[in-house]
A and B are shown apart, each in its own frame.
Chain A
Amino acid sequence: MRLLVSLLLTLCVSLAWASEATTPKLDIGKGGQCVEDTQWMRKNHMHLLKHARDDALRRGIRDEKRSLKVCIECHASTQDNSVIAREDSFCVGCHKFEAVKLDCFECHSGTRKSAWLQQRKAK
Chain B
Amino acid sequence: MSDMDMNRRNFLKTSVGAAAVAIAPGMMLYSVAQGKSEGASSKVRWGMLIDTNQCKPGCNDCVTACNNENGLSGENNATNSQWIRKIEIKDISSGRELSLPMMCQHCEHPPCVDVCPTNASMKRADGIVLVDKHLCIGCRYCMMACPYKARSFVHEPLHDQNPDVPRGRGTVESCTLCVHRIDVGGKPACSEACPNKAIIFGDLNDANSEIAQKVHSVASVQIRADLRLNPGVRYQGL
Chain A proximity of B177: nearest CB distance (Å): 12
B38 to chain A: which residues have CB within 8 Å? 61
A60 to chain B: which residues have CB within 8 Å? 35, 39-40, 124-126, 179, 183
A57:B132 contact, CB within 8 angstroms: yes
Set A57, A62, A111: member contacting B160, Cβ < 8 A: A111
Which residues of A from 86 to 114 have beta carbons under 8 Å from B? Answer: 106-109, 111-113
Set A59, A72, A108, A113: member contacting B39, Cβ < 8 A: A59
Set B126, B163, B169, B179: member contacting A109, Cβ < 8 A: B163
A66 at the interface (CB under 8 A from B): no
Residue of B nearest to A114 (CB): B163
Chain B proximity of A101: nearest CB distance (Å): 14
A58 at the interface (CB under 8 A from B): yes
B95 at the interface (CB under 8 A from A): no
The answer to whether A107 and B37 touch (CB under 8 A), given A58-B122, A59-B125, A116-B162, is no
CA distance A69 to B184 in the complex (A): 15
Residue of A nearest to B182 (CB): A60
B179 to chain A: which residues have CB within 8 Å? 60
Residue of B nearest to A64 (CB): B36
Contact residue range for chain A? 20 to 34
CA distance A60 to B122 in the complex (A): 12
Total A-B contacts with CB atoms under 8 angstroms apart: 61
B162:A55 contact, CB within 8 angstroms: no
The answer to whether A62 and B163 touch (CB under 8 A), given A57-B134, A106-B168, A106-B169, is no
CA distance A112 to B36 in the complex (A): 21
B158 to chain A: which residues have CB within 8 Å? 107
Which residues of A from 62 to 91 have beta carbons under 8 Å from B? Answer: 62-64, 69, 72
A58:B132 contact, CB within 8 angstroms: yes
B132:A108 contact, CB within 8 angstroms: no
A107:B132 contact, CB within 8 angstroms: no
Chain A proximity of B100: nearest CB distance (Å): 29
B149 at the interface (CB under 8 A from A): no
Closest 6 CB pairs of A and B: A107-B168, A60-B40, A61-B39, A60-B39, A107-B166, A113-B163
User: Which residues of A pack against B, CB within 8 Å?
Assistant: 53-55, 57-64, 69, 72, 106-109, 111-113, 116
Q: List 25 A-B contacts (CB under 8 A).
A: A55-B39, A57-B130, A57-B132, A57-B134, A58-B122, A58-B132, A60-B35, A60-B126, A60-B183, A61-B36, A61-B38, A63-B37, A69-B163, A69-B164, A106-B157, A107-B167, A107-B168, A108-B161, A109-B160, A109-B161, A109-B166, A111-B163, A112-B163, A113-B163, A116-B163
